[in-house]
Amino acid sequence: MTTASTETDSRTLVEDAARRVVAEHPPPTTSLPELMGAWYDAGLTWVHFPVGLGGMDAPRSLQAVANRILRDAGGPEPRTVNTIGYGIVAGTIRRYADDALAGRLLRPLATGEEKWCQLFSEPGAGSDLAGLATRAVRDGDGWRVNGQKVWNSLAHLSRWAILLARTDPDVPKHKGLTYFIVDMETPGIEVRPLRQLTGRAAFNEVFLDDVFIPDSQRFGDVGEGWIVANSTLGDERNSLGDRVAARGSGAIGDALELWAAHPEQHTPILRERLVRLWARAESQRLTGNRAKVTASKGVVGPESAILKLLNSELTQNIYEFCIELLGPEGTLIDTYSLDAPDDESGPTAIQRKYLRSRATTLEGGTSEILRNVLGERVLKLPQELRADKGIAWKDIPR
């Protein structure tokens, strides 16, 4: 059987399964957990995952086909059900958990009944993630963890977290880390919200005070957490890259709609800026399509890092244009409180999206770090000088 016929058969299987689920569980009248549970059981949550773990061993490129059928029937975009769980955590669970644990974790993740967050960054280790200080010390059949994490999106709503902690301070910083998953209901965990520019609090800081984690919740070998974490960060960049909007939609769609609504603000200079922004958005959309084709073949390329970097900066540029187009109106906002509406709603949604866009060049890897990654790993440029290279973490000046 040729590759083309195999892909055609897989597409038919995915389409038939997706249509069957939405017919038997109509999205407008079915609860979200029931709908997404049926979606998972049919192998449609991650079509490229193994059968029984939310997949059907189909090409990853067919995920978009399944998701489109769900959306057209009135269902959600799946990743919005559990943003960090879908885009960042699921792949790591698949790679490092045994089938029993993966099955226990993936289904409630897929249904949205158990949200996930990421406990990586620290006040003294943001871009330099490997320099983190949170300690995990052996205690019988588990570990005692103490430390502080920060910029933890959705930690206040999450049941589970992925955690990177230092288990050996006597070796260089990248080699003394171990990767865990932790139940956020474990005694000793305190979550404190951090107010954002938008007025809302989706970020948090998390304090871990003598938190016990069973060794069964360790992913990868002791001391190899950096390897596991890099696989997670790769998934995060792929997820952010996959969010490149369709032609004329997303941030550039907002700009086009605003332009049409404010003809009194049209000037040749603003018109030229809008055309340039649209051309950049189109370039990124086409690069996104190329990245999806590459990913569907199981090849890891630099496209996801490129897309994340460029899309973050383009999003900021677009909303800066929108605020300038609005003129004095752009300085107004309807409410500034923890109860403020989501970025997509409200009479001053553009202003709120502008404020939210300031985070895009920080989250998922700062633009500076991504440029280093592309320069050193893709372009093979000389590495930056690192004074702490080869030095035990405990001996690094702070």
Is 177:132 a contact under the CB 8 Å cutoff? yes
CA-to-CA distance for 98 and 374, rounded, in angstroms? 33
- pLDDT above 90 as % of the chain: 67
- Is residue 384 annotated as part of the catalytic site, yes or no? no
In whole angstroms, give the CA distance from residue 156 to residue 143.
23
* Cα torsion through 119, 124, 127, 131, rounded to 10: -80
Given 236, 303, 313, 329, the catalytic residue: 236
The class that CATH gives domain 117-223 is mainly beta
Give the start-to-end residue ranges of the domains of the chain. 3-81, 117-223, 243-365
Q: How many angstroms separate the Cα of 260 from the Cα of each of 47, 96, 305, 321?
A: 40, 50, 33, 14
- Report the CATH superfamily, name and number, of domain 243-365: Butyryl-CoA Dehydrogenase, subunit A, domain 3 (1.20.140.10)
Strand pairing report for 116-119 and 160-166: parallel
Q: Which of 128-137, 275-284, 376-385 has the lowest mean pLDDT?
A: 376-385
Cβ neighbours, 10 Å, residue 72: 12
pLDDT digits 0-9 by tens, 353-390: 999 899 888 887 788 888 988 898 888 999 888 888 88
Of 2-6, 105-109, 215-219, 343-347, give the lowest mean pLDDT range. 2-6
Q: Which of 144-148, 158-162, 173-177, 297-301 has the lowest mean pLDDT?
A: 297-301
